[in-house]
Each structure stands twice: as structure tokens, then as C-alpha cells.
Amino acid sequence: MRDARNGSAPTGPTFAEIVDRRLTRRAALAGAAAAVPVMVFGGALAHAPSAAAYIGESIGFSPIALSEEDTVLVPPGYSWKTLIRWGDPLFPEAPALDLDNQSQASQERQFGYNNDFVGFFPLPDYRYPVSDRGLLAVSHEYVNPELMFPAYDGENLTEKQAAVEMAAHGATVIEVFEAAGEWLYSRRSAFNRRITAETAMAVTGPAAGHELLQTTADPTGANVLGTLNNCSGGKTPWGTALLAEENFQDYFGNAGGIDACDPRRAVHERYGLPAASSELGWEKFHDRFDASKEPNEPFRFGWIVEIDPYGPDSTPKKHTALGRFRHEAATVVIAPDGKAVVYSGDDQRFDYMYKFVSSRAYDPHDRAHNLTLLEEGDLYAARFEEGGTGCWLKLAAGEGCLADWSAADVLINTRGAADLLGATPMDRPEDIETNPVTGKLYAVMTNNTERAEGDTDAANPRGPNAFGHIIEITEEADDPTAAAFTWDIFILCGDPEIEEHRAYYAGYDMTKVSPFANPDNVAFDARGNLWIATDGQPERLGKNDGVFAVPTVGAERGYARQFVSAPAGAEICGPEFTPDNRAFFCAMQHPGEGGTIAAPTSTWPDNTSPAKPSLVVVTKAGGSRVIGS
Ligand code: FEO
Ligand code: CA
Ligand code: CA
């Protein structure tokens, strides 16, 4: 729960009024929507070279049904395989996973835990849409120690277990290729890499070196060890991956030990650091995770981290210019004037959506220049108004209600700055992605069960919101740098057959859709269809999580069809296509969560306990056909 609320008293319209209004607008727009023209949208089409040929085509697979089976299910004609799993060796000399003999050294050479973001980077060069060989950048968000260590006892964490856990975080870069219709990964690739909670990183931007980033181990405030809780992420047009540090607060214990008058304590409280022990207990062995001993270390997390998958020896960079919050993901588009725009949600109940606009323009011929684009720019928070309009509030240090704030203050305490400016508290903003065909933005709110019935607004119209929703946003003049936007509710998730869910699927006939709940990470195919991965259906719908494909334009706009069903206990992350859309990657995260090794709730993928977080690749007809065609 957030610690401070802002905004006016609840005066919003009722749910019925909102849906009525949306439906009326939708009817008026229906004819135009069916014939929406293809727009060239900055550099986004660089990722979808043949998009124009496909827009409006329907999705051609038979949807599967919600399931409780402890396996992966895909539609008829499709097949899936486990490409890599937790503990698989990444290098020729790396050991196989040995549950009883885990070590930091071995985990640093193996695929990490709880895979989340997946980004495909073609080989030999990001500029060419090669689809049968590439690098996958995969983030490892968190660990389930009860499913990693036999006889795990959280009250008696050992230093060795903590070291393995730290090595299981971060990211993996792994070369993958398709041969005779089968996807494999290479143990011998020179690109293979592990990034962990102890990998050396540089800090860039206005907050680099600030006194709040200085610690005993790093008096420069510009060299951080590691990255934590890397949730989803993004890809840049210059061939790098952005890792989003999400729930970093969970790793720091004892913030309650900071002097009550110390202003740092209030910031840590706004960001949800626990007053007592952390969730995993690493502070037992490492002072930097004890906020009472190193009160600045938490300020060194909660950033967007840029890694270069093509440079296995490159130093990851934490970009302070993009602000500090629980970054779910980071989606990059190039505006007509060449500026790089990065959208990112702060995944907490009643927190905000943000965008960053670079000061300098992207240069397709100068990668070294592009690698500095995220070091300087302006940061904005979203405000949604009744009636489908909205604006981006500039978090401008030294101006207005931020008159007394420095640039570093704004970036380190981004939430506090957005509080003062009156950004709109959202229902847990997760992924935000741009449709490569239309340029519209789709912002995913996964749920907010703490929103009261009388505390709704037009953009967050259900209280409580157990099932989540998706907002469709159009930047003014289709310019991602615009100060204003219009928006609409695209989908209110839930089961249409249960009236209390109050579901809405873009006005489509709800007797035909595959119901889904708790959208989290999304991806677009080259035709502009939205592919939605969920996190939370076991609790909300009593069925496993899944992937759902939804056209965004044309007669089938809103027609959700289920494409994948996850193993028991898993959420699905990182939906990602190869450039030719003939392979679909998704990350099965935390299968078996809720169980233990001795009392498993899942044995996926190898029919053994523990279940293992694993990356899955889905193909059609042996990889010869486009997914969804
Ligand atoms: Fe890590 Fe917001 O999901
Ligand atoms: Ca997520
Ligand atoms: Ca999630």
C-alpha cells in the first residue's frame, strides 16, 4: 500500500456512466476504426518492417480454454519447447544444476531464477531483422528460496544461500538459434553472459555522484554493485536492452532504524522499504542491505539499467535521468524529431505512469552517440482527465511546486515529485507498449483491490479492481514528445459471464472472447495485434495464467483469444517475437509458487520437484508459419 495519497475527493462518474460513454464513443468511431490508416510513427516501424501489409487481418488460431493442468498448452497446429531452465549451464565448463551442492560460483555460470523480460536481438547485427539466430536478453526478477534449497529455513538463512540467491538475480544474455525447425541455445557463444546482484555498474545522469548515492563502499556515488528485481524491460533501436528495477525495496532491511528526523527515512517510507527485516534477509551478511547502516544504498536501486548484449564486457549503466521508482518495464520509441521517448510504469497500487524524453536526437549512424541518449532529458508523469483527455506533467526541478528541488532530488524521489504535481494514481501500472502499426500506446493496469468503490476515476473505473484493465492512449498529433494525449478504456478484464466482474472487451461480443484477468506484460506482433501475458488468474479466475491475443483495430478489435496456458502457479512474462513473427518466446516465472520442494504444487517442466522457471519457445508447423496467421 502506498504511504501518501493525493488527488481530489472521489467525484468521478459511476462505472455504468463510464462504460456507456465509452460505448457511445466507440459506436461513433466504429466506421473510422475499421479503416484506420497506417501511420508512420517515428522509428517504431524499424521493428516491424512489413507491418503495413498486415494491419487489420484477423488472428487465425483456435483459442484454447483456461486450464488447471500443470503443463504448457498451445492451440492446435502449434508446438512448444523448453529452451532453457533455471540452473542450465551457459558456458562450456559450467556445471549442471546440483540442488544439494549449489554455490555462488556455479549459479554465476548458470541461467538465473524467475525469468521475466525477454528481448530478441538479431545476430550478427541488431540493424538487420535476422530471425533464426540471435541473442536473448533475459532478466531474473526474484527468487523462491523454498523451491531452490532443500529444507530451506528462512529464519536461518545461510551466507552461502544468500550468495546463491544474489547470483540467481540479474540477467542472462544467451545466444539462440533455430536449426531444422528446432530452437536451441549455444553454450559456446562468446556473447553469453550473466549479470547478477554483484556485477559492477556505472551510474549516469543528473543524480550520478549525488551525496544520496554515496556509500561506505562507494564514496563516488557513481559505481553500484548489481541490479535487483529486474522485472520486464525493453529494447532500444540502437540494439541495447533496458532492465527495469522493480520491487527493490524488498531487499533492504531495518529502514525503521534510521533517525525519524532524517529526511531519507520519509523517502524510504514512500518507496515502501520495510521498517524491520527484509524479505530475504541478506542484511544478515551484508551491511549494504541494512538501511540502518547504509541508508543511501537503497537510493542506488529503482532505476532503468541499460545493457549491451553485443558487448559481453560492457559495463551496465543505471540511468538516473529516467527517474527512480518501481519500474515495471521501459518501452522506447523514436519521435519524429529524433528524440528517444521511454515509457515506464511504477507498479504499485495508486502510483503513476511516466515518460522520459531525451534531450538529444537518435542518430541511426552513430551507435556510440545513441548509447548516451538516456543520460539527459526530461521526465513527465501522466495525469488523466475525465472525458478522455490527459497531459504529461513535467517534473521540472526548480519550477512551480518543485521550486526547492534539485534535478537529483526529483530523480531520486520521483514519486514525491509526482505526488506534488498531481499525477493520477493508477491501478498498478505494468507494461506500456506502443503499437508498431498505429502508434497508439497500450498501458496495462494489473489490478488494485485496495481502490474503494467511491474512489474511482475515469481511467481507473472499478473499485475494487480485482481483474485489471488496459488503457489505449493516443499522443497528440501522434507525437510521443507531446504534452497532451487522449485516451480510452480498451479492455476491462474479467469473466464476461459474471456480471459482478463488469468486464468490457473494446465493445466486442463478449460471448465469444477468451476471458482473462490481471494483464501484466504485453507485446505486439508485426500486424499490430496485442499479445497479453497475465499474472494472477489462479487467484482471480481459479485457472492458470495465460497469453491472450487481441486485435486492436478492425472488426475483431477486442476479440481476445487464449494462445498459451501456463503451468501451475506460474505467471507468464516476457512475451517476445522474432522479427519474422515465426517464433514466440515467453518466460514461465515461479511455477509451483505456493508449494515447496517436498510438497510441490508443480513439477514442470521435467516432471520433477522442484519446478523450474523456464523460457519457452512456441512455433507453428515447425517454425514455417507466422504465429497467429
Ligand atoms: Fe514484476 Fe509488476 O511485475
Ligand atoms: Ca511484470
Ligand atoms: Ca507480475
Residues across the chain: 629
CA distance 621 to 74: 12
Q: What is the mean pLDDT of residues 610-620?
A: 98
Tell me: pLDDT of 41 over 50: no
Q: Would you state the cell numbers that stand for residue 509, as one nine-digit string? A: 461480443
> Distance of CA 105 to CAs 108, 154, 196, 279, 316, Å?
5, 22, 11, 23, 20
Please give the number of the atom of ligand 1 that sits closest to the Cα of 535.
Answer: 3
Residue 577 in contact with residue 120, Cβ under 8 Å? yes
Please give the distance, rounded to the nearest whole angstrom, from the Cα atom of residue 571 to the centre of ligand 2: 9
What's the pLDDT at 16? 52
User: For ligand 1, is residue 231 a contact (CB within 6 Å)?
Assistant: yes
User: For ligand 1, is residue 444 a contact (CB within 6 Å)?
Assistant: no
Q: What is the mean pLDDT of residues 408-429?
A: 98
User: 156 Cβ partners below 8 Å, 6+ apart?
Assistant: none
> Distance of CA 303 to CAs 228, 234, 347, 446, Å?
10, 13, 13, 21
Tell me: pLDDT of 50 over 90: no
Residue 115 in contact with residue 174, Cβ under 8 Å? no
Tell me: pLDDT of 241 over 70: yes
Please give the distance, rounded to the nearest whole angstrom, from the Cα atom of residue 520 to the centre of ligand 3: 6
Please give the distance, rounded to the nearest whole angstrom, from the Cα atom of residue 246 to the centre of ligand 1: 7
Please give the distance, rounded to the nearest whole angstrom, from the Cα atom of residue 349 to the centre of ligand 3: 13
Cα 41 to its chain centre, rounded Å, is: 22
Measured in degrees and rounded to the nearest 5, phi and psi for residue 8 equal -80, 170
> Distance of CA 156 to CAs 161, 163, 284, Å?
10, 14, 10
Please give the distance, rounded to the nearest whole angstrom, from the Cα atom of residue 431 to the centre of ligand 1: 9
> Distance of CA 95 to CAs 89, 106, 192, 193, 546, Å?
6, 6, 15, 15, 32
Count of H-run helices and E-run strands, the chain = 8, 31
Please give the number of the atom of ligand 1 that sits closest to the Cα of 430.
Answer: 2
Tell me: pLDDT of 375 over 70: yes
Please give the distance, rounded to the nearest whole angstrom, from the Cα atom of residue 353 to the centre of ligand 1: 14
Query: Which pLDDT tens digit goes with each residue over 247-293?
Result: 999 999 999 999 999 999 999 999 999 999 999 999 999 999 999 99
What's the pLDDT at 57? 56
User: For ligand 1, is residue 218 a contact (CB within 6 Å)?
Assistant: no
Exposure b/e, 511-521, CB count within 10 A at least 16 = b = eebbbbbbbbb
Query: Which pLDDT tens digit goes with each residue over 115-135?
Result: 999 999 999 999 999 999 999
- What DSSP string runs through 599-627? S-S--TTTTSSS---EEEEEEEGGGTB-T
Query: Which pLDDT tens digit goes with each residue over 444-459?
Result: 999 999 999 999 999 9
Tell me: pLDDT of 39 over 50: no
522, burial (CB in 10 Å: exposed 0-12, middle 13-18, buried 19+): buried
Which helix or strand (DSSP H or E) is residue 25 part of?
Answer: helix 15-34
Between 2 and 182, residue with greater pLDDT? 182
**What is the average pLDDT value for the chain, to the nearest integer?**
92
Cis ω on the peptide bond leading into residue 124 (within 30° of 0)? yes
Residue 426 in contact with residue 461, Cβ under 8 Å? no
Q: Which residues surround ligand 2, an ion (CB under 5 A)?
A: 231, 520
Between 439 and 1, residue with greater pLDDT? 439
Please give the number of the atom of ligand 1 that sits closest to the Cα of 231.
Answer: 1
What's the pLDDT at 128? 93
Please give the number of the atom of ligand 1 that sits closest to the Cα of 116.
Answer: 1
Measured in degrees and rounded to the nearest 5, phi and psi for residue 382 equal -90, 140
Query: Which pLDDT tens digit goes with each residue over 149-184?
Result: 998 999 999 999 999 999 999 999 999 999 998 999
CA distance 84 to 587: 10
Nearest CA to 210 out of 321, 291, 128 is that of 321
What's the pLDDT at 43? 33
Q: What is the mean pLDDT of residues 398-406?
A: 97
What's the pLDDT at 206? 98
Query: Which pLDDT tens digit goes with each residue over 51-100?
Result: 344 444 578 899 999 999 999 999 999 999 999 999 999 999 999 999 99
Residue 12 in contact with residue 458, Cβ under 8 Å? yes
Nearest-10 crossing angle of helices 414-421, 263-270: 80
Bridge partners for 185 per DSSP: 176
Please give the distance, rounded to the nearest whole angstrom, from the Cα atom of residue 445 to the centre of ligand 1: 11
Query: Which pLDDT tens digit goes with each residue over 548-594?
Result: 999 999 999 999 999 999 999 999 999 999 999 999 999 999 999 99
Q: What is the mean pLDDT of residues 604-628?
A: 95
CA distance 314 to 310: 9
User: For ligand 1, is residue 18 a contact (CB within 6 Å)?
Assistant: no
Q: What is the mean pLDDT of residues 368-375?
A: 98
Tell me: pLDDT of 8 over 90: no
User: For ligand 1, is residue 347 a contact (CB within 6 Å)?
Assistant: yes
Q: Greatest CA span in the chain, whole angstroms? A: 65
Percent of the chain with pLDDT over 90: 89
Tell me: pLDDT of 21 over 80: no
